[in-house]
Amino acid sequence: MKPDQQETKNFKFELVHMDRHCRARAGVLHTPHGSIETPVFMPVATHGAIKALQPKELKDLSFQVLLSNTYHLHLSPGAELIAKAGGLHKFMGWDRAILTDSGGFQVFSLQKNSITDEGANFKGPDGENIFLSPEKSIEIQQLLGSDIMMAFDECIPFPTTEGYVQKSLKRTHSWLKRCVEAWTNKNQALFGIVQGGTYKKYRKLSIDAVTDFKLPGYAIGGVSIGEGKELIREVVEYTAPLLPEDKPRYLMGVGMPEDLFMLWENGVDMSDCTIPTKFGRNGTLFTNRGKIRIDHKSYRRDFFPIEPNLKDYVNSTFTRAYLKHLFDSNEMLGQILATAHNLAFYKSLAVRAREAILEDRFLDFKRDFLAGYRQ
């Protein structure tokens, strides 16, 4: 049994309510940069910038936390430079909470030279060698000064043989130990990541090993890598309830509105995804009646808001016809407003889900929303 890592300063998860009819939870995550109401959806600022939106706009939309990427910031402009600028919050003009990933996902998703027990070697965009290890990842994240750091893990592809899962888990768990040892700034919280592929027994094994470190939070890693929605659901349904009830649960890189309901129903508190921002830039907008392609000719004379039930700036100011016009004219403002709308939509989903959980009617909310959304 490892010592409890609860000495983390200014960081505390408060479980406010569990829905009586399912596993959905409402909570508050206190961080050195403000509180985060859960369930929470986190927008992604890969390079220390939400694509197309200014930090003040994220505040106007009431976002309390965003995600940024260790690997990308390490490459450019470099963590030392950001530390010199006063840390990532100051550098990017965002004084609310930041979660940084560890680079572990890039071990999976980018071209790499080799992965050993020591760490992972990448080919950088200019052919240069990039080395990440548990120690290096934590060093970078501590230089960035994020509120929540993620452990450096190996995200394995799907499908994977049992043999490799076993070998990789051993590595991920020993890397977690090294992360914990490298973690010196207790103003930053460290989350452990559970791996194990689609094998229940290895998920269980990983949960036991990872939670043994008594960390401030836990993530379910290695999902949404091509295994399909049914297998994601299976892993989440099995894994989430086995995580400690009094710690926040985070699932990385998922997804569409319907996916969020699945996560929340199973007691996941935090998630992130590039979908709302990426889809927005492409002209795909989320509404209570499903997704729409705003450049479709049917919106030419549609003088209604994108989503009449949203009261944010975009929906109280602009029409579908105007957004279609902006996309038709290749105006950057189209991508900006579409991004702001999609994030407003995702934010409102999380807010409405939380309200429903607090009133024990999450399943009703989910049913009603999906009935309208899937029309």
If one asks whether residue 81 binds its own copies (CB under 8 A), the answer comes out as yes
Residues 59 to 78 in contact with its own copies, rule: CB under 8 A: 72, 76-77
Q: Mention every residue, 6+ apart, whose C-beta is less than 8 A from residue 73.
A: 47, 48, 79, 82, 88, 100, 140, 144
Of residues 131 and 304, the one with the C-beta less far from its own copies: 304
Give dist(CA 154, CA 105) in Å, integer: 7
Give dist(CA 75, CA 277) in Å, integer: 22
Of residues 176 and 337, the one with the C-beta less far from its own copies: 337
Contact between residue 194 and residue 167 where contact means Cβ atoms under 8 Å apart? no
Asked whether the bond before 255 is cis by omega within 30 degrees of 0, the reply is yes
Supply angle C-alpha 98, 224, 36, rounded to 5.
25
Contact segment (CB under 8 A) with its own copies among 194-202, 330-338, 342-350, 354-362 equals 330-338
Selecting among 19, 101, 147, 269, the annotated active-site residue is 101
Of residues 214 and 325, the one with the C-beta less far from its own copies: 325
Q: Give the 3-state secondary structure of residue 353.
A: helix
Give dist(CA 335, CA 340) in Å, integer: 9
Q: Work out how close the CB of 344 gets to its own copies at its nearest, in angstroms, rounded to a whole number.
A: 13
Selecting among 153, 269, 272, 312, the annotated active-site residue is 272
Q: Work out how close the CB of 132 gets to its own copies at its nearest, in angstroms, rounded to a whole number.
A: 19
If one asks whether residue 308 binds its own copies (CB under 8 A), the answer comes out as no
Binds its own copies by CB under 8 A, chosen from 85, 245, 289, 311: 85
What x/- string results for residues 23 through 62 when contact with its own copies is judged by CB under 8 A?
Answer: ------------------------xxxxxxxxxx------
Give dist(CA 265, CA 29) in Å, integer: 19
If one asks whether residue 125 binds its own copies (CB under 8 A), the answer comes out as no
If one asks whether residue 331 binds its own copies (CB under 8 A), the answer comes out as yes
Binds its own copies by CB under 8 A, chosen from 300, 308, 358, 364: 300
Binds its own copies by CB under 8 A, chosen from 21, 59, 84, 201: 84
How many helices (H) and strands (E) the chain has is answered by: 15, 17
Residue 101: active-site member: yes
Residue 90: CA count within 13 A, CB half-sphere: 11
How many chain residues are in contact with its own copies, going by CB under 8 A? 41
Which stretches does DSSP call E strand in the chain?
A: 12-18, 25-31, 34-38, 40-42, 44-45, 65-68, 97-100, 112-115, 120-123, 129-132, 148-150, 189-194, 217-220, 249-251, 270-272, 284-287, 290-293
If one asks whether residue 297 binds its own copies (CB under 8 A), the answer comes out as no
Residues 333 to 372 in contact with its own copies, rule: CB under 8 A: 333-337
Q: Quick one: which of 115, 114, 111, 92 has its CA closest to 44?
A: 92
Site residues (CB under 8 A) for its own copies? 47-56, 72, 76-77, 81, 84-86, 91-93, 300-301, 303, 313, 317-319, 321-322, 324-326, 328-329, 331-337
Catalytically active residues, by annotation: 101, 272
